[in-house]
Amino acid sequence: MKTSTALRRATLPFWARTFGRPNSPTLAAQPSRASLKVPVATARLHSLSGYKLRASSRPENLSVVAVSASPSPTAERRQRKSKMRIGCLQFAPQVGDVDGNLSRADAALSRADPDDLDSLDLLVVPEMAFSGYNFTSLSQIIPFLEYAGTGISSLWARSRALKHNCHVVVGFPEQVDVSDKWPTSPEYYNSAIVVSNEGETIATYRKHFLYMIDETWALEGSGFGKEYIPGLGQTAMGICMDINPYKFEAPWHAFEFAFHVLEVRANLVILSMAWLTREDVTTFTSKPDEPDMETLTYWVQRMEPIIRAENDEEIVFVFCNRCGIEGDTVYAGTSTVISIKQGECRVHGLLPRGRESLLVVDTDDPPLGKLISRVDTDLDSDASPEDVSVPAASEDGALPNGSPHTG
């Protein structure tokens, strides 16, 4: 039985009901647009680390520009189900422990409601889910590289796709068969495979923007992912670092991935991730049942052009992150499903930072709430909300809150 909207609001966890200090984005229980102090479409959702809003004209370099797009997909190609049931599998792999990681993933799924599993349209698994992520060299990762379609990650995805009659996306370290191009150099990529509900490989996406850990062994993919998935619609794909400025050298306002989403006219965005937290391990692990709101806010910040475009068509975003610790590397968890429509960002589901669990979201159900931005109380009271914005990134590409921890 569906939970009523009123009950959903009443049962929001404390961090969703009480997170309301000035100058912080807030997960609100369905506020009206009139209650937004700063229209989401005209102000960047800013980090919780204390970056201040100030009254100013809208920065020219943050304006949404017209996109030179490819021909619009036909109505048939854009069509998707009126609702989607999406599963995000958040768990804590360990680097190099393939058997243990498979067991952890299966254990997390075994704790889920079987009816939820069997009603999924899409199951997403984190970046390099079964190999672990934090490899430091090519020689260390070589034993764990897989061929697309025949490796252990592909076989697991196919098995789950057939068992639950859903599409499955799994991140894995890919080795390309280059025998037909020999002599040539070997090719290795940080990839994600998409398997249909019939067990067929739809696509293999290769990470376009590499994080420094990836650069020790992987090549750059040729571009961001775009794929039509039957039953789900036009899909844009990325892996973790893809949403950041290229190499942290491009300007903040380049928004490469967000403009890709607009260009391909996607209605679904899938992001498989191994995103690190900026908090120290002691502070972060002391609150395992709370989401990392700073990380969530940053993800939404990077979608600013989509928010400001105020499109009438809803775009659903799946941020599937891993959790746990590998050595001294701490992952942010906080897997999330959001949607953006008409300049508003709605939160449909959200996991805590430390929980190994399956997040199941039905996009036809009322959202948990909206992410909003509140104006500093020390702003000039005469300032128009339309004139309130976050200061732009510097021309050398420096980010408003420093480089995030990513993956």
In the structure encoding, which two tokens stand for residue 233, read together?
A: 């619609």
Q: Of 65, 69, 44, which Cα lies nearest the Cα of 260?
A: 69
The continuous run of DSSP H or E covering 27 comes out as strand 26-28
Helix axes 98-110 and 152-164, enclosed angle (nearest 10): 10
- CB neighbourhood size of 100 (10 A): 13
In the chain, what is the straight-line distance between the N-terminal and C-terminal CA atoms, in Å? 38
- CB neighbourhood size of 355 (10 A): 18
- CB neighbourhood size of 79 (10 A): 15
| Options 127, 174, 304, 356, the catalytic residue | 127
In eight-state DSSP terms, residue 173 is E
In sequence order, what are the residues at sequence separation of 6 or more whose Cβ sits closer than 8 angstroms to the Cβ of residue 8?
Answer: 29, 366, 368
∠ CA 196-199-203, rounded to 5°? 50
- Find tokens 């889920």 and name the residue: 112
- CB neighbourhood size of 150 (10 A): 10
Residue 323 is a catalytic residue: no
Residue 88 is a catalytic residue: no
* 96, burial (CB in 10 Å: exposed 0-12, middle 13-18, buried 19+): middle
| Options 88, 166, 226, 240, the catalytic residue | 240
| Options 146, 166, 174, 207, the catalytic residue | 207
Residue 127 is a catalytic residue: yes
Catalytically annotated residues: 127, 207, 240
